[in-house]
Chain A
């Protein structure tokens, strides 16, 4: 969709607003890859509030994060984000929510606009609104630090404008020196989370024996997450929303169910094929009807036509 199409779709949207929104998103993308910081963030969903202390350091080839939950039992997540596999002109990776998604394709599915200027975590921020162009995905409101481009606030909203989740820094020091001891686990209970910025999702998904016959336009395969034994998993994103598909040989209590936690929807259904029964579980920050439709379209990959591949329209 070209610029004319954008304007036709939303006559009230000014060009200036669009350009400024684009610029902010690009700044945010760059900031996610390059900034060390130390801060306190809140996350709220379904009325429950979680407070996190975050220390993040950018090192050669990787990003290190220590995330400590400040309420409830003392717990930490140590995240190591591997950038070494990243090739190409933009090896910084961990490029934030806009990661790896063709920007032109993205604006086909979201209308980006400058919303307002705000003060978040004691800093001047620019707020960008991403309104979905269809009902398959949620809307977002992003507060981006004026000075550094760092994402300070992220809200997820449904089509009625209801707030589903809110992530927000309460306090942050950006561009600080973070020494290694600060990144060591300090709580007795901690979890190591290894992620990688440049997974070639399409290639890994192709090798699988299950496929998605339908995903919302703009969602592309991102990775094949670890699945429980005997199962398979796929992960898709459109740059802002994401969902995972799990194909399980066994599931709890054999239900068919819908569940929800804040912005996260879960839809589980039974698949009965010639090779036996499986449980199809779709989980993501997507509306329930979307999750249901994705789940209904999950099927065994025909052995012969292994070239058939999930390819959402407009994907890279």
Chain B
């Protein structure tokens, strides 16, 4: 390599991937990469080359550089925030991962007088599952740690094929109910997975489902 690649960011990003970097080092690395797009590109090429050398087929590369750049761009905030951005909305101090409600479509209570919802008839006939259709027009991005409730609105959700109607905002109580429902099912899923995955699902399961 003829050009001067600062050795530090490379080793530090490797360490970052293994979670072996302290906050100070991380910050320095991120700053360097965030400021220098050329360095980012080099880093990425270096990754590809290293991957090829190890005999990897190349389509499972960890391209941290772009994400770090995005995180830097998105978060001009204090450096503490920068760290959390890189690590993925990390609540560094939290010991229980927040359940993130990505999107909610609210259905009004079913009215039996209405025609059957489009699609379910086809499904009942064993038709092929409908193609993937993004459901979330506006990611709500609600973080729901213990106790805290966040008022959510689905006012942005547009009706699709007459299936949905614009719904009133969810109340805090409804959100808490949603959270309990999902976490309770996550717990059941973890229990089922523990029969073949052993320890991992137990580590993964949401804790204190009932007393929140």
Contact among A46, A79, A237 with B98 in the assembled complex (CB-CB below 8 Å):
A46
Residues 69-124 (chain A) with a chain B CB within 8 angstroms:
69, 71-73, 75, 77, 79, 81, 94-97, 99-100, 111, 113, 115-116
A299 at the interface (CB under 8 A from B): yes
- Please report the C-alpha to C-alpha distance between residue A14 and residue B52 in the assembled complex, in whole angstroms: 12
The residue on A at minimum CB distance from B146 is A72
The residue on A at minimum CB distance from B94 is A48
B137 at the interface (CB under 8 A from A): no
- Please report the C-alpha to C-alpha distance between residue A40 and residue B156 in the assembled complex, in whole angstroms: 46
Residues 156-195 (chain B) with a chain A CB within 8 angstroms:
164, 170, 174-175, 177-182, 185-186, 188-189, 191-195
Known A116-B54, A266-B182; contact A293-B129, beta-carbon cutoff 8 A: yes
The residue on B at minimum CB distance from A39 is B199
Contact among A17, A199, A237 with B193 in the assembled complex (CB-CB below 8 Å):
A237
Q: Judge whether A258 and B107 touch: CB under 8 Å.
A: no
Known A52-B203, A139-B60; contact A47-B90, beta-carbon cutoff 8 A: yes
Q: Judge whether B207 and A293 touch: CB under 8 Å.
A: no
Interface size on B, residues (CB 8 A): 81
Residues of A within 8 A of B179 (CB): 252
Interface size on A, residues (CB 8 A): 106
Q: Judge whether A273 and B120 touch: CB under 8 Å.
A: yes
Contact among B99, B106, B123, B175 with A254 in the assembled complex (CB-CB below 8 Å):
B106
Contact among A223, A264, A292 with B186 in the assembled complex (CB-CB below 8 Å):
A264
Residues of B within 8 A of A145 (CB): none
Q: Judge whether B110 and A277 touch: CB under 8 Å.
A: yes
Residues of B within 8 A of A288 (CB): 102
Residues of B within 8 A of A251 (CB): 181
Give a binary string over A148-187; 1 marks a CB under 8 Å from any B CB, 0 the rest.
0000001001001111011100000000000000000000
Residues 249-300 (chain A) with a chain B CB within 8 angstroms:
251-264, 266, 268, 270-274, 277, 281, 283-285, 288-289, 292-293, 296-297, 299-300
B117 at the interface (CB under 8 A from A): yes
Q: Judge whether A47 and B91 touch: CB under 8 Å.
A: yes
Q: Judge whether A48 and B198 touch: CB under 8 Å.
A: no
With a 10 A CB-CB cut-off, give which of B58, B59, B95, B130 has the most chain A CB atoms: B95
Known A213-B129, A283-B186, A297-B129; contact A69-B207, beta-carbon cutoff 8 A: yes
Q: Judge whether A256 and B135 touch: CB under 8 Å.
A: yes
Q: Judge whether B92 and A222 touch: CB under 8 Å.
A: no
Residues 106-151 (chain B) with a chain A CB within 8 angstroms:
106-110, 116-117, 120, 123-124, 126, 128-130, 132, 135-136
- Please report the C-alpha to C-alpha distance between residue A300 and residue B196 in the assembled complex, in whole angstroms: 27
Q: Judge whether B102 and A252 touch: CB under 8 Å.
A: no
B101 at the interface (CB under 8 A from A): yes
Q: Judge whether B104 and A256 touch: CB under 8 Å.
A: yes
Q: Judge whether B92 and A235 touch: CB under 8 Å.
A: no
Q: Judge whether B107 and A283 touch: CB under 8 Å.
A: no
Chain B residues engaging chain A, CB cutoff 8 angstroms: 17, 19, 52, 54-63, 67, 84, 87-92, 94-110, 116-117, 120, 123-124, 126, 128-130, 132, 135-136, 164, 170, 174-175, 177-182, 185-186, 188-189, 191-204, 206-208
Question: Which 8 residue pairs across A and B have the least CB separation, nearest first?
Answer: A47-B90, A252-B181, A43-B203, A252-B177, A195-B195, A161-B62, A253-B174, A48-B97
